[in-house]
Structure 1
C-alpha cells in the first residue's frame, strides 16, 4: 500500500497537469485574431456569416473571398487573387469582435479559397484566413514555393524622379523605388514577385504585385527598380513599402505636394465665368428692353459723342452775309418786325424806275 499511494498520487497529478498544459498551449497559439464561418461551403448567390474575435478594438476591417490561398501560406498573389468588388467592410466593437454577412462570389483565380479578413486602418496590420469552398469553382494545386531563397535589403531605399507640370495640375504622381537586395538563403531566387504598397495616413497599404526579372544567386546582390504611382490629385504624406512573401523589406516616406494648378483653375473659373454671364445678361437686357419711336440703341462701352460744330469765317475783303431770321408766326412774309413798310429801299427804287420806263 505504501508503494501504490505514491503511484496513485503521481498518476492523478499527471492527469491534472496534462490538460492544463494543453490548454495553455492552445491559448498561446490563439492569441492573434481569429475568423469563424457559419458554413464551410456555399455557391454563388448565397451568403456566409463571418465572425471574428481578438481583433483591435474600433478598427475597420475588409472581408474578401480569395482564391489560390491557404491559411498556412496566406493569399498568394495579394489582392489580385480576391473578389475585391464584392468585399464587405466591418468595424470591430470595443472588445475586438464582429459579425457580418458576406456574399459568396467566385474569385478571379481558382481555389483553394479562403475568406480573408485584414485591417484597413490602425497602427499595426493584422490578418486572418478561414478555409472556404466556393461550390462549382475550379480547383487547382498551389504553385510550389521557392525553397532556400531569402531576400534582404542591403541599402537604404530611395525614390527617384520628380513631378512635372501635369502633376501640378492633378496628374498621378510617379516615382521609381530603387534599392539593393541580397540573397541570404541557400538557393537562388529567380524572377521574384515583389509587392509594392502605398499607404496614406492611418490607412493600411494597398499592395500591388510586380515581378522583377532576374536571378539572384546565394550570397549575391542585385539592384532593384520598381515603379510607384499614386492616384490623380493625391497629396500629403505617403509611405511606400516593399514586401517579399510575408516579410516587409523596406519602407520609404514620400511627401507629395498639393496640385496648386487645380486650385488656381477653380479660382479663375469662379471669377471669369460670373463676369462672362453678367456681360451676356446685360447684352440680352439691352436687346429686349423697350425703346421710344425712332430712338437709336445705346451702344455700351463707348463715350457719348457731341455733334460737331463748324465755324466758318468770312474771307478777307468780302462782306459777311446776314441771314434774316424766319418770320414769326402770324406776320406777313414781306414784313418783319421793326421795318417800315412805307420806307424805300434801293431795291424798291430800282423796281419803280423799271416799271416807269416800261409804261412810257
Structure 2
C-alpha cells in the first residue's frame, strides 16, 4: 500500500500580507489616511459646470465631528458673505477620520477664483480651501484684504536666560521676552512691530521698538520672542513690558543682581595703586638725593664701600662707618720713621708705649741715670 502524499499548505502569513497589499493598491490615493496625521481633502473634479456635483473626500479629521462644505467666490475673502450658503452641506466624519460628501455646483455671490471651503464645525477648527473652476462664471481680480488686526496675549509670558560671569563684573544683563499672542481681528498681521519697555522701580518705562518677522493669520496664534538688554552695571528691580500699538499686552518683573565683581575690582585698585605709587616715589627720591665725597648723603646716612667686582646698588643702605680714632691715638700708633717698615708694630691706643699687657713693673721713684744700667736684676 503506497502512502498518499500530503497536500502542500499555503503559508497563511504570506497570503494575508499579499491580500492586504492588494486591497491598499485598490483604494484610491485620496481616500487613504494622511501619513502625517493632518486633515486633508480632495475634489473629484477640478472644473465643473453649474448644476453638477463634485465629490469631496477627506482624511485625518477628528472622528465623530461634523464638516461643513461651502462653495465660495473670491477665495472666500470677506468671510461667508462670498459663499453660496444655501447650497452648503454638512458631512459627518467616521471613526477612522474619513468623510465623503457631494456638493452641488451653483453660482456663488462673488466672481471667481472660487474655492470649496471645508471647515470642522465642532472639531479642532481645521479649515481648508480647495480651488475649483466654475464654467461660465465671471472671474475678477481679488480685492484688497480689509479689516483690522487685533493682537492679544494668550499665554506663555516669561523671561528666558541667565546671568553669566561677565555680568557679575558689570556686563549688560540680557533676557529673551517670550509670549504667545493671537490675532483676534479679521486681517492678517505681517511683520508686526512691538515695543519693549524697561522700567526701574517706580520710574516710567523706556520703550524700544522690535520687529518680529512672520505673519499671524486671523484666528491664529504665534509665539513671539524678543531680546531685552539693560545697560552695563544696571541692577535692581525692573519691569519689562510688551506693547503693540497703544495697548500694553503683557508685563513681567525682572530682578537684576548687583555686580559685586566691580566692587571687588575697585577695592583692589584702591589698595594696589597707592602702594605702588609710594614705592615709585621712594625710589625716585632715593635716586635724586645729592651725595658727598665720603659716600654719605646730605641726610647723614652713609653708604659702605662697594664690594670688589660688584657695583654698589643705589637705594640700598650700608652699615654706617665708625668714627675715626683721636689724633693722639693716631700719633701713638704711628710707626717710627727710622725703623724699617716690616718691623714696625702697631700699638693699641689704650696701652702705654713702655707697657706690655700682663707684665708687672715696679714703680719708678726717680729718673734713670744715663750711666746706670737699667737691666733687670743688677744692683
Task: Report the TM-score, using the length of structure 2 for normalisation.
Answer: 0.42
More helix by share: 1
Tell me: higher relative CO, structure 1 or 2? Use CA pairs within 8 A at least 6 residues apart.
1
- Report which of the two structures shows the higher radius of gyration computed on alpha carbons: 2
